[in-house]
Amino acid sequence: MTTQTATAPRAGDPQAVSHKIRDNKAKKVDPAFIWMLVPAALVFTVLLTIPLLTGVFYTFTNFKGYGDWHFVGLTNYKNLFSDDIIWGSYLFTFKYAIVASILTNIIALGLALVLNSKMKARTFFRGVFFVPYILPVLVVSYIFSYLFTNNLPQIGQALGWEWLSTSLLANEDLAWLAIVVVGVWQSVAYNTIIYLAGLQTVPEEIYEASALDGAGPVRRLWSMTLPLIIPYLGINMVLSFKGFLGVFDQIVALTSGGPGTATQSISYLIFKNGFQGGEYAYQTANGVIYFLIVVALSFAQLRFTQSQERV
Amino acid sequence: MRALSRRSFLAGTATAAALAATGGTLAGCSSSDGKVHLELFQFKSEAIALFDQICADFNAANPDIVVTQNFQADNITSLRARLVKGDTPDLITINGDYNYGALADTGIFYDFNRTDLLDGVNPSIASILDTLGTGGEGQTNGVAFADNGSGIIYNKDVFDDAGLEPPTTWAELIEICDELTAQGIDPFYWAIKDNWTGAPAFSSLSGSFLTDGVAAWYEKRRDLDSGTSFAELSPVFEKMYQAVQYGNGDKAALGYNDGNQGFAQGKAAMYWHGTYAIPAIRSYNPDINLGTFATPADDPADTKVVSGVDVALTMGENPAHLEENLRFFQYLMDEANMTAYCDEQVAYPTLTTLSAQDPALEGLQPYFDAGRVATYSDHNFPPAITLNAYIQQYLFNGDLDQLISTLDAQWNKVVRRINETA
């Protein structure tokens, strides 16, 4: 795997490729590459691959996280599929991830378009809008928790809105929206940066050409800008969706999965019942399923957006 | 000094790593000074200074032993990690809840019936630990050191101003609530945002309601073919919901600490928590005049105090220094040390010869003396059943049928799963 790294053939040069395969006496690889690669591969294996495989192994046992264990075959997986608590957490997590990704991307794209326009103090505003990304999630969540608990109800009472006059976090039907608000507020910044980078790649000339053809701003956005930054939209969708599927910190700080079990996300459930509930093996099996789902979805999303790229 | 070559650098890091791996572990045994070194695995953050003092005194009195306190906040998690590595601490303090039972069931703790440590301990308290879990028939795997009592905390000054006395029956309690409401005082102070704050009410009502014993009922419920249902606890749930109606308007928005603070500021007459909340309330208002009474049953004869072992002492089933461990536990169980701990932590001593000195604890002491204590209902739930969350939901929406069907369904599911993979 490593012996060919030193000679990179020029892309699109079939001669070079075939030549390389025939040449069994490959050039001596510069040891510097080995020195860089081996530690990285070792660390990756020891810290990621081995624990992952160990975890998968334990899902076929009744391991509690300590003490004795024995094999139970596929019982954990069988029970997973008949467990309404697990289904509930998947439902909540997907609902949250879909809504939050869509909102995040719409707002981030809008912000990027504004911040990309010729306005005064552009750099300053770009800085300001990036601040939420730098703040730790927990700190932001605790601040929002305070706002939801103390300030918003007062506004709700003043306006006479029933649903807002008590804390959103204590409302079974609306608590998830509060978590969406915090999640979106936090992650818009990062996605805005990616969109801004994308907008830099759109050449000015096409706008001039379309202006000559008499296209208005909306038409320009829809027919010019969006198709040209589809790759960025794709990567943003995949990244934010994957991030939101793993929602954890906000839940801990805002609701601890409550009220009731209304906002138990998958990762929160795995953590809570796996480590504190003595269901180590069972929740690890949940983690394995969760991992497979995230991988499958990310691939599907990437394939879909790549098929949309026409440039 | 050699110039740093790649090879010498790598060799150096390898040596450093090897050193860290070997030298980083504590020497947990007799060391070069010829003394026996013991580790006290302690989980109460409020009691670190006191245990340091106790260890120092003990070490001075026993020159052949050195006991060192190792404080661990998230003690169950770190204890499990230690057990996995086969590195059981010498001396362990642990809270007597479901986790204690789960650990004891695996047979990793010592059987203290083989010692005389349990001799002076109130038997009705000592047996609470046995109901949670044992390593085998007739074993007792922990020594109860300090107890909490769960009834209702009340603000004596508010009661006096309103001209009220603590109730002896549930009907009287409701009368008091109505009277306080009429006088414009919030009867209870609730803080349900932290979902576990509904559990004390559930446990203390169950303790008086399940007259054949709390643990016995759950034993029956664990037999999934017995036809037992949580519907049998309906009166308990109904009373909880009834009491929650007598409370502050912002109960859904307040967490446990907000609750302690608000009650300390005299915002309500009663606070439905165990004695563990008293130090926290006093931290916000040292001068508050607190009292406690047992959660009243319909018939005063049924009233019990729900009590849990706040601090139990235990050790590994096969300790390296049995004699020294027992010597330290004997020292801890000494009247002077237990009194010092209980006074500082506002807890009930477990020796029959002692009683709580704190005025806030007097209301429950007679029940301890008479052995009228019950175990916490919620300690019987496997943690995979998120009981606190369901109770919180019920206190918000009052849908009893939903609560009962949820509890039954979850209980059956989780218990079946535990049996299946046992």
Q: How far is A289 from chain B (nearest CA, A)?
A: 18
* For the ranges A25-39, A144-158, B279-293, the one whose mean pLDDT is highest: B279-293
User: Which residues of chain A make contact with B378, given a CB cutoff of 8 A?
Assistant: none
Question: What's the average model confidence in pLDDT over B185-202?
Answer: 93
Q: How far is B97 from chain A (nearest CA, A)?
A: 13
What pLDDT, on a 0 to 100 scale, did the predictor assign at position A22?
A: 53
Query: Which residue in A166, A167, A278 is closest to B102 by CB distance?
Result: A278
Q: How far is B331 from chain A (nearest CA, A)?
A: 31
Confidence of residue A11 (pLDDT cuts 50, 70, 90): very low
Q: Do B386 and A278 touch (CB under 8 A)?
A: no
What pLDDT, on a 0 to 100 scale, did the predictor assign at position A25?
A: 59
- CB A284, CB A54: distance < 8 Å: no
What pLDDT, on a 0 to 100 scale, did the predictor assign at position A190?
A: 92
Q: Model confidence over A74-97: pLDDT tens digits?
A: 999 999 998 989 999 999 999 999
What pLDDT, on a 0 to 100 scale, did the predictor assign at position A104?
A: 96
Q: Do B108 and A64 touch (CB under 8 A)?
A: no
What pLDDT, on a 0 to 100 scale, did the predictor assign at position B383?
A: 84
Question: Given a cut of 90, is residue A165 above it in pLDDT?
Answer: no
Q: Model confidence over B357-387: pLDDT tens digits?
A: 899 999 999 999 999 999 999 999 988 888 9
Angstrom distance (rounded) from CA B402 to CA B405: 5
Confidence of residue A164 (pLDDT cuts 50, 70, 90): confident
Q: Do A167 and B384 touch (CB under 8 A)?
A: no
Report the residue of chain A nearest B74, measured CA to CA: A276
Question: What's the average model confidence in pLDDT over A54-58?
Answer: 93
Query: Which residue in B83, B194, B421 is closest to A67 by CB distance?
Result: B83
> What is the average pLDDT value for chain A, to the nearest integer?
85
Report the residue of chain B nearest A259, measured CA to CA: B393
Q: What percent of chain A has pLDDT above 70?
A: 90
Q: Do B77 and A275 touch (CB under 8 A)?
A: yes
Report the residue of chain B nearest A149, measured CA to CA: B253
Q: Do B392 and A258 touch (CB under 8 A)?
A: yes
H, E, C per residue of chain B = CCCCCHHHHHHHHHHHHHHHHHHCCCCCCCCCCCCEEEEEEECCHHHHHHHHHHHHHHHHHCCCEEEEEEECCCHHHHHHHHHHCCCCCCEEEECCCHHHHHHHHCCCECCHHHCCCCCCECHHHHHHHHHHCCCCCCCCCCEEEEEEEECEEEEHHHHHHHCCCCCCCHHHHHHHHHHHHHCCCCCECCCCCCHHHHHHHHHHHHHHHCCCCHHHHHHHHHCCCCCCCHHHHHHHHHHHHHHHHCCCCCHHHCCHHHHHHHHHCCCCCEECCEHHHHHHHHHHCCCCCEEEECCCCCCHHHCCEEEEEEEEEECECCCCCHHHHHHHHHHHCCHHHHHHHHHHHCCEECECCCCCCCHHHCCCHHHHHCCCEECCHHHHCCCCCCHHHHHHHHHHHCCHHHHHHHHHHHHHHHHHHHHHCC
Question: What's the average model confidence in pLDDT over A286-300?
Answer: 91
Best of B417, B418, B420 to disrupt the A interface by mutation (most A CBs within 10 Å)? B417
Q: Model confidence over A173-183: pLDDT tens digits?
A: 899 999 999 99
Report the residue of chain B nearest A63, measured CA to CA: B421
Best of A142, A261, A263, A265 to disrupt the B interface by mutation (most B CBs within 10 Å)? A261
pTM of the model: 0.78
Q: How far is A303 from chain B (nearest CA, A)?
A: 38
More confident residue, B342 or A7: B342
Q: What percent of chain B has pLDDT above 70?
A: 92
Interface of A with B (CB under 8 A): 35, 62, 64-68, 72, 75-76, 79, 82-85, 149-150, 153, 166-167, 169-170, 172, 256-262, 264, 273, 275-279, 281-282
Q: Do B102 and A64 touch (CB under 8 A)?
A: yes
What pLDDT, on a 0 to 100 scale, did the predictor assign at position A280?
A: 87
Q: Model confidence over B79-135: pLDDT tens digits?
A: 888 887 788 999 999 999 888 998 898 889 999 999 999 999 999 888 899 989 999
Q: How far is B53 from chain A (nearest CA, A)?
A: 32
Residue with tokens 């749930």: B237
Interface contacts (A, B; CB < 8 Å): 91
What pLDDT, on a 0 to 100 scale, did the predictor assign at position B63?
A: 93
Confidence of residue A17 (pLDDT cuts 50, 70, 90): very low
Q: Model confidence over B136-147: pLDDT tens digits?
A: 888 999 999 999
Q: How far is B345 from chain A (nearest CA, A)?
A: 26
Q: Model confidence over A200-239: pLDDT tens digits?
A: 888 888 888 888 888 888 888 888 888 888 888 888 988 8
> What is the average pLDDT value for chain B, to the nearest integer?
89
Confidence of residue A285 (pLDDT cuts 50, 70, 90): very high
Question: What's the average model confidence in pLDDT over B22-45?
Answer: 71
Query: Which residue in B77, B393, B410 is closest to A259 by CB distance?
Result: B393
User: Which residues of chain B make contact with A276, given a CB cutoff of 8 A?
Assistant: 76-77, 383
What pLDDT, on a 0 to 100 scale, did the predictor assign at position B18?
A: 45
Q: Do A167 and B392 touch (CB under 8 A)?
A: no
User: Which residues of chain B make contact with A76, given a CB cutoff of 8 A?
Assistant: 421
Q: How far is B391 from chain A (nearest CA, A)?
A: 7
Q: Do A170 and B252 touch (CB under 8 A)?
A: yes
Q: Do A257 and B193 touch (CB under 8 A)?
A: no
User: Which residues of chain B make contact with A275, given a CB cutoff of 8 A?
Assistant: 77
Residue with tokens 């919180």: B392
Q: How far is A189 from chain B (nearest CA, A)?
A: 30
What pLDDT, on a 0 to 100 scale, did the predictor assign at position A303?
A: 85
User: Which residues of chain B make contact with A167, given a CB cutoff of 8 A?
Assistant: 193, 252-253
Q: Do A170 and B253 touch (CB under 8 A)?
A: yes
Q: How far is A154 from chain B (nearest CA, A)?
A: 12
Confidence of residue B149 (pLDDT cuts 50, 70, 90): very high
What pLDDT, on a 0 to 100 scale, did the predictor assign at position B57?
A: 95
Best of A34, A46, A59, A66 to disrupt the B interface by mutation (most B CBs within 10 Å)? A66
Report the residue of chain A nearest B409, measured CA to CA: A84
